[in-house]
Structure 1
Amino acid sequence: MTFDFSTPRPRRAPTRLTSARLIAALLSLAVASHAVAQDDVAPAADNPLNLPTDVKIFGKYDPYVRKANAIVNGFIITDTDVDQRLNLVLAANSQTTPSADETAQLRLQVLRNLIDETLEIQEAKANDITVDRDAIDQTFARVATQFKQTPDQFTAFLKSKNTSAASMKRQIEGELAWQRVLGRKVEPFVSVGDDEVKGVISRLKASKGAKEYHVGEIFVSATPETDAQVHANVDRVFEQLKKGGSFVAYARQYSEASTAAVGGDLGWVRAEQLPQPIAGMVTDMQPGQVSAPIAVPGGYSIIAVSDQRQVLTADPRDATLSLKQMAIAFPKGTAQATAVPRVSAFADATHKMAGCGAVKDVAARFDAAVVENDDVRIRDLPVALQQQIAQLSIGQATNPFGSVEDGIRVLVVCGRDDPEEARAPSFDAIYNQMTEQRVNLRARRYLRDLRRDAVIEYR
């Protein structure tokens, strides 16, 4: 089914039958049915409806297409749309299983997101901004590539999760349409002065050595009337994140900030660049932590800190390593106690070996597989390994890690290129970041106004 988005906002509410007209229509239908019955053979006792034995169905019946859930300026959002988008969220967080109450709350949030998405697409159409199918398909193909699948394979995967490629493409269309609306209606009217940028650069140089953080944000707006409900909703999202839910996936689905399209990523920021309630929280967080909901002007934010570093200071974790990995495997069903002696001997041999040149001989003794990689940053390794491997000299090996089921591994450092002294971000990088922050603020207001002026009917 296709829908026409070309009619500009606001749309007139659809015409409804009054009670009198509805009754008249039903009476006319009854009279017509009675007239036909007089001409036909009387129904048999075992077939009171006089139905034909050879029934021919016109049109395709789809049991998953149900009643409208909401009508936004004339555009219908069905239960099917909500279910498929909800399943998309659940598929991205398959390691957690929300309760029935949590699922109901997630469903409400998904409906709100679909309404916003529809308003964004309609606003693009009203401003003669179109998103062609090729752009949508190309973005869909890039997403499929992230899953190491072709578009057809990814479509089948989505179907297996009780969602659809159409649902994801609709979300992609909304994101692209909104980006283009902001590019035409907001960004040209946002200005950042050269003096402002130079001031930031000066402050960066003055704060050399201070900490900065790689931050992600989920922002949900609230009014005094909706504050309690919104707070309860973001609390539920936080509980899912604590259980292992994907922050990026939840940011894409629930965040009302313009960074939702990139999984809520705010990039590298210093605490003083953030609103005070968030700044105070970020400085106390460690990489990998997610904050409880924070009350901010206009709503609530959930903050994630994925990393931290010092301003304009070389970070040892940016060193590039040349590594050799040795991995030993165990037959399926091997008990932990049975594997311990072999693992201990493997650890002893790797600690005593004379540099990377001995890797081949040690691997042969333990029937270990060897893999080489000459371009690995310490920062990109698992957090549990970073500190240990940063302290190793060339030729030394880590302690064994892994599991009996997945194999026991050791990394050997065969080369290291230490990072250069960090430099201040370029004028253009700072200018772009400041522009994005101001566009983000105006985008929130823009969407708020669209909601206020929309004709939304809930069914």
Structure 2
Amino acid sequence: MSIVPPKAKIRCPMTRCKSIVIAGLIALGSLLPQTASAQITEGIAALVNDEPITTVDVRNRMRLIISSTGLGQLDEEALTRVQDQAIRGLVDEHLQLQAAAEYEIEISDEEILGSLEDLAVRNNATVDEIVTDLAASGVDVSTLRHQLEAEMAWQILVNGRFGSRIRISDQQIELVLERLAASASQPQFRIFEIFFEITTANGEEEAVQRVVGVMQQLQQGAPFPELARQFSDSSSAANGGDIGWIVASQLQPEVATIIPQLMQQYNASGGRGALSTPIRVPGGFMVVALVGARDGTTTLQYELTQITLPNASVNEDSQSELAAVSQGDLTCESAESAASGIEGAIVTPLGQISAGDLLPAIRDALEPLGPGENTGAIQTAAGLQTIIVCDRQIAGPGVPTRDDIEGQLRGQQLSLHSRRWLRDLRRESTIEIRN
């Protein structure tokens, strides 16, 4: 089933619309600045393919954003930015739910409750405590339920449409493992991120406005993870922007270049953390927080078998025979039989050994090799040796399994498909933001 809503342009860009609900936010009480005292008639704040978003919807979403990010008194400019984010989020959710409806995807009350329970667990709370906290901030739980419903429906829709097309090859997984192996001894950093996507050719202004608003909220003390959940366009938003422990080479180059600067801030703060300025990256802007640093704790582990031709047994014939065996179909299992015809050759299973415990020359020879490959005949103090890689893996705390890596790569591709599809829906839909 195709989803092709009627094409039309957005009549009022979000970042240029006049305030439609700020004056009415006096109902938020202590969360709002005392200057917000004007009143407004309730009505329609926006239309998404003729489906209304009311001013009540917008105010409730603003309450949710303000409550979840822990913001206090806000001036009118800050409220305008929160309003823009509320409208943007509601528009996207309506587009997502409309697309889900075309595919007859419905989220049951039990599924929404399950999502609420997961949210409570992540926040070390119960569902009742979350509902009570929201009520204390003037937020009806239906606002959060609507957000969760859209997230779940969209996830099912994206998985259903693109999941079967995504194939993660063994080669892709091996490339990730190779990068991990190459960086095993490098310093590791605990990074949180907020990504602001530029969704259209002229959408940079909107992205900049969102960046400015979030930076101001961070400077006012709002928790980074909560802002990431509400504002980030990255798949890491669901985890509060947490991308875990990584090395600099795993980051986008534009982000990796500022790690030394962030480390200076981190050390100067006594390890409390460091915050970047906005970083221009392909497709948008990025803000990152460095919350931890440690020396490389992973090690490259080999399982090896070696064929040694002692110096006393090295001659022209034995040297040629060892070279021929090394160039053939040599494995750890076949080493004994393969070397049996070489006079004086000794086959030794070395078992598990750390790369750091190897002689530099041998470590360098093994570095480009994978399981089932060998170094060829190399000269060592013991004589001529061929070393076969039986297995190679990264060991240490937090090292991902192959399944973990496959899941991460799959998630990245699904996130890319999700952003592209939502961008297409925005472009093809009739979206009217009212003054």
TM-score, normalising length: structure 1? 0.60
| Aligned partner (choices 407, 420, 425) of residue 432 of structure 1 | 407
1:427-459 CA distance string (max 9 Å, x none): 112222222222222221111111111111222
Q: Which has the higher contact order (CA 8 A, sep 6+)?
A: 2
Per-residue CA deviations over 1:197-252 (Å, capped at 9, x if unaligned) read: 11221232222211232222211222442323421331221121122111121112
Question: How big is the shift at 1:107?
Answer: 0.5
Q: Does 1:294 align with 2:279?
A: yes
Residue 424 of structure 1: how far off its partner (Å): 4.2
Q: 1:98/1:281 Cα in 2 relative to 1: closer, same or farther (>3 Å)? A: farther
Q: Secondary structure at the match of 1:256?
A: coil
Residue of structure 2 in register with 1:175 after alignment: 151
Do the aligned residues in 2 keep the contact of 1:9 with 1:122 (CA within 8 Å)? no
Task: Name the amino acid aligned to 1:433.
Answer: Q
Q: Quick one: which of 304, 328, 333 aligns to 2:289?
A: 304
What corresponds to 1:447 in structure 2? 422
Aligned residue for 2:187? 211
* SS of residue paired to 1:69: strand
Equivalence map 1:96-115=2 (5 Å): 96-115=72-91
Identity, % of aligned positions: 30
Give a deviation string over 1:227-283, Cα, whole Å, max 9, x none.
Answer: 234213312211211221111211121112232222222233322222211221234
Cα offsets for 1:63-98 (capped at 9, x unmatched): 999211111123211111111111111112335433
2:224 pairs with one of 247, 259, 272:
247
> 8 Å contact 1:289–1:305 — kept in the other structure?
yes
CA 448–204 in structure 1, closer or farther in 2 if over 3 Å, else same: same
User: Are 1:220 and 2:215 counterparts?
Assistant: no
Distance 2:296 2:413 in 1: 23
The total of aligned residue pairs comes to: 299
Q: 1:235 to 1:145 in 2, by over 3 A?
A: same
**How far, CA to CA, are the matches of 1:106 and 1:137 in structure 2?**
27
User: Residue 257 of structure 2 aligns to a residue in which SS?
Assistant: helix
Q: CA deviation at 1:99?
A: 1.7
The AA in structure 2 aligned to 1:308 is: A
Q: Distance in 1 between matches of 2:112 and 2:70?
A: 25
SS in 2 for 1:195: helix
1:231 aligned to 2:208?
A: yes
Are the aligned partners of 1:9 and 1:123 in contact in 2 as well (CA < 8 Å)? Answer: no
- Give, in whole Å, the separation in 1 of the partners of 2:118 and 2:406: 28
Would you say the 8 A contact 2:183–2:247 is kept in 1? no
1:293-442 equivalences under 5 Å are: 293-313=278-298, 421-422=396-397, 424-442=399-417
Is the contact made by 2:134 and 2:140 (CA closer than 8 Å) also made in structure 1? yes
State how far apart, in whole Å, the 2-side matches of 1:94 and 1:422 are: 33
Q: Give, as a single letter, the amino acid of the residue that structure 2 aligns with 1:175.
A: E
Q: Structure 2 CA distance, aligned partners of 1:297 and 1:436?
A: 19
Contact 1:218–1:303 under 8 Å retained in 2: yes
- Whether the aligned pair in 2 keeps the contact of 1:214 and 1:306 (CA below 8 Å) is yes
Q: Which residue identity does 1:111 align to in structure 2? A: I
Q: Establish whether residue 69 from structure 1 lines up as the match of residue 48 from structure 2.
A: no
In structure 1, the residue matched to 2:54 is 78
CA contact (8 A) 1:82 1:110 kept: yes
CA RMSD after TM alignment = 2.8
> Which of residues 234, 239, 250 is equivalent to 1:262?
239
Show the 5 A alignment for 1:137-156. Answer: 137-144=113-120, 150-156=126-132
Q: Is the 8 A contact 1:12 1:73 kept in 2?
A: no
